[in-house]
Chain A
Amino acid sequence: MITITNLGKAYNQRIVLFIKELEIKQSEIFGLVGNNGAGKTTLLRLILDLIRADKGAVVSGEFKVARSENWKAYTSSYLDEGFLIDFLTPEEYFHYIGDEYGFSKAEIDEKLQEFKVFFNGEILGQRKKLIREFSKGNKQKIGIVSALITDPKVIILDEPFNSLDPTSQILLKRILVDYNKKTNATMVISSHDLNHITDISHRVALIEKGSIILDLQNDGSALAELENYFSA
């Protein structure tokens, strides 16, 4: 689904990312772990064509992301708070995004019902509360859900478990796995939480100084291997 070849990015002649070859398969949940500054967000931004690749290319489906924009129709993402339009109310925001992808208000409202438990009664129905007035965790929930309501085939999430309370983290794991089972969507998810990421991913890659140094099929031993690496 997503094929990366010879992808390189440098800032001031310092290489921050180089990936020779990486293929993320259709319907795979692809976990990405790595220490701060390893290049996780850079990779996700490159996949979304938000920064210019100095070398190589990312191909999503049959489209080169830097050349075509057709991949945007089936891709959704939430990287950081900068993805939220914070002067809208959550519902206005969901409807706006739904509208962009051709969903009616009623369709979006119906989809939102599925996230009622995740929202814990704090997000929907607050007609006068703007997104910028919500807490960090609730903003995170709004952002993640906004990436799930447009029936995407590819989902890119950057550290989705951050700022969420334990209940919500567990709920989110289930939401993501269910979505993947139901729709066969491809997911690229970065995280610092090794337990969570190995719980949900089919495959986990470890990124360090801009390159992928471990690429593990998640068949039970991945967590131990990762823990071993990070504690060394």
Chain B
Amino acid sequence: MNFYSHLWKSFIRNERWRRNLLTKILFGILILYFIITFLVLGLNIGKILGQLGGDPVDRFNSILLWYLPADLFMRCFLQPLPTIEVLPYLRLPIRRSQIVNYLLGRSVVNLFNLIPWFVIIPFSIQILLPQSGTGIVVIYLAVIALLLLFNNFLAVLIGFLIQKRPILYVIPFGLQAFMISVNNWGFPVSDLSVSFGKYILAGNPVLLVTLPLAILLTIYATSRLLSRNFYIDGIQSKKERKTFFALIGENQFKRFGEIGRYLSLEISLLLRNKRPRQMMVMVPVIIIYFMFIISNSKDPFGPFFNLIVVTSLIGYGANNYGQFIFSWESSYFDSIMARKNNFANYVKAKYYLLSALSILSFIPLFIFFGYMQTIDPYLICSVLIFTIGVNSFIILFFSTFNDGRMDLSKSRFFNYKGIKGNQFLISLIFIFLPVGIFSLFKYYFNPIAGELAIAIPGLLFVTFNNWWIKKIIVPQFKRRKYTNLEGYRYLSI
């Protein structure tokens, strides 16, 4: 069947996939690591549950209702959405339902549906089988399989909805927040989960009927949603930009001269295109989510955890915008390089925006943690300074290596969550460099030394931004010019 072989080829022949061997290896190792971890956990499940005490079956079941929403949450962000460039097939005699079925079918092939079984099957054989007999075990496994499948299709549906309206990121976050609230309002989720497990083990066939129905409903909703994309005009939604349109456009920052011109272009880019807008929406959602988690948790998190949260949240927007800081403009990069431009100012405009994102994230966090008093406000300020100074430098430097084309306007169902090894690495540097330096100085001297140790280099980098932009970033940007120009023409991220 040609259609299916095309889909396979489009996956295999993705340029990025071909070129980036390192990412492939990194990914392979990560997958292997998860499989081994779960396998070891599964093989020792009897011992572990025995050590925890209580009835081992109840112990195991008490995790169920924690695991399932967490699983859905993770899937919403990590499970790759099945994608296809529909347009070339519209004129061919291929049934639409065939395309939809393919998309949904392929979504089932992923690690989230595989890894849990490394634990569940050993558990069923070692513990459940001697206790309850074969019939019950089969029902138990069937219900779990259906629950995972339901999560799978629900995540696909939510994923597509998020593609349509980025604000719907609140669904997975809201669900998590809801679970935590339920737990805190006197309905311990673990207890509910044990009862749920007992209900499954009672062998009641109700779940075996309702769950497939729920799955079918999700599939139906998804295919309804997808069917709209089978029209050329359905692929571009007309409504999207109107809301943001008035916000910016012509040079609003005239008084900043040339930098102002680049700045207003950059802001229009972020607001008028789907993909960057999707990213921007995530920033407040994540900040609010973590505030909710922290203010609702019974046991206060340790200072180290708080520091990591603060660092990653202050840098979250800057990190996500910054990783692609040059790639955002990939679709018209040729023209940037062919025209007269002052690249020092060009980079500086990006640097200012990067800083502004950090500061905007910092303000609510500063107020929030000032109220919670779980972390030293001076430390938060130091982290901000470090982020604006050192981290901005790091990210600007490394983003010049990002030579993939970013499709801003083409709203095909396209999504490469996952194959972003190097981006992940930079995110880790972003967080653990300041946290590491602070912890080191705190450990050997005192917290104030730690704060100074991140604030001072940060301040130096902020003060001398002119120098390092001109002497390091711009030359690096020019060195990478030909490679990036070529990559932006052919590779997609």
Residues of A within 8 A of B (CB): 48-52, 69, 72-73, 75-77, 79-80, 82-89, 92, 95-97, 99-101, 105, 128, 130, 132
Between-chain CB contacts (< 8 Å), 17 pairs: A51-B485, A51-B486, A69-B340, A73-B340, A76-B339, A80-B334, A82-B331, A82-B334, A83-B332, A85-B332, A86-B409, A87-B408, A95-B250, A100-B340, A105-B250, A128-B242, A132-B409
Distance, CA A49 to CA B471, complexed state (A): 22
New contact pairs (14) apart from A87-B273, A92-B250, A99-B251, CB-CB < 8 Å: A48-B337, A49-B337, A49-B338, A50-B337, A51-B482, A51-B485, A51-B486, A72-B340, A76-B339, A77-B338, A95-B251, A96-B265, A100-B341, A105-B250
Contact B489 A130 (CB under 8 A): no
Q: How far is the CB of A187 from chain B (nearest CB, A)?
A: 15
Contact B338 A83 (CB under 8 A): yes
Pick the residue among B261, B273, B489 that contacts A82 (CB under 8 A). Answer: B489
Give chain A residues whose Cβ lies under 8 Å from the Cβ of B261. Answer: 96, 99-100
The 4 closest A-B pairs by CB, nearest first: A83-B335, A52-B482, A87-B272, A72-B340
Tally A-B pairs: CB < 8 A: 77
| Contact (A84, B332) CB under 8 Å given A99-B251, A130-B272 | yes
- B228 contacts the other chain (CB 8 A): no
- B269 contacts the other chain (CB 8 A): yes
Contact A50 B485 (CB under 8 A): yes
Contact A86 B331 (CB under 8 A): yes
Distance, CA A136 to CA B327, complexed state (A): 24
Chain B interface residue count, CB cutoff 8 Å, equals: 28
Give chain B residues whose Cβ lies under 8 Å from the Cβ of A105. Answer: 250
Name the residue among A48, A80, A85 with the largest chain B CB count within 10 angstroms: A85
Within 8 A of A (CB), among B238-271: 241-242, 245, 249-251, 261, 265, 268-269
Distance, CA A113 to CA B338, complexed state (A): 25
Q: How far is the CB of B9 from chain A (nearest CB, A)?
A: 21
Q: How far is the CB of B486 from chain A (nearest CB, A)?
A: 7
Q: How far is the CB of B431 from chain A (nearest CB, A)?
A: 31
- Interface flags for B397-413 (1: CB within 8 Å of A; 0: not) read 00000000000110000
Q: How far is the CB of B269 from chain A (nearest CB, A)?
A: 6
Pick the residue among B241, B251, B335, B485 that contacts A130 (CB under 8 A). Answer: B241
Distance, CA A44 to CA B275, complexed state (A): 32
Give chain B residues whose Cβ lies under 8 Å from the Cβ of A77. Answer: 335, 338-339
Give chain A residues whose Cβ lies under 8 Å from the Cβ of B332. Answer: 82-86
Contact A100 B339 (CB under 8 A): yes
Distance, CA A108 to CA B334, complexed state (A): 23
Contact A72 B409 (CB under 8 A): no
Within 8 A of A (CB), among B439-488: 482, 485-486
| Contact (A84, B335) CB under 8 Å given A92-B250, A100-B261, A128-B245 | yes
Pick the residue among B250, B265, B339 that contacts A72 (CB under 8 A). Answer: B339
Give chain B residues whose Cβ lies under 8 Å from the Cβ of A75. Answer: 338
Give chain A residues whose Cβ lies under 8 Å from the Cβ of B250. Answer: 92, 95, 105
Give chain A residues whose Cβ lies under 8 Å from the Cβ of B337. Answer: 48-50
Distance, CA A53 to CA B268, complexed state (A): 34
Name the residue among B249, B261, B408, B489 with the largest chain A CB count within 10 angstroms: B249
Return the chain B residue nearest A47 by Cβ: B338
Give chain B residues whose Cβ lies under 8 Å from the Cβ of A76. Answer: 339
Give chain A residues whose Cβ lies under 8 Å from the Cβ of B341. Answer: 72, 100
Contact B249 A85 (CB under 8 A): no
Return the chain B residue nearest A82 by Cβ: B334
Q: How far is the CB of A189 from chain B (nearest CB, A)?
A: 16
Contact B268 A88 (CB under 8 A): yes
| Contact (A87, B269) CB under 8 Å given A50-B334, A82-B489 | yes
| Contact (A97, B339) CB under 8 Å given A50-B334, A83-B334, A86-B409 | yes
Distance, CA A174 to CA B105, complexed state (A): 57
Give chain B residues whose Cβ lies under 8 Å from the Cβ of A95. Answer: 250-251
Q: How far is the CB of A231 from chain B (nearest CB, A)?
A: 33
Contact A87 B268 (CB under 8 A): yes
Distance, CA A6 to CA B1, complexed state (A): 50
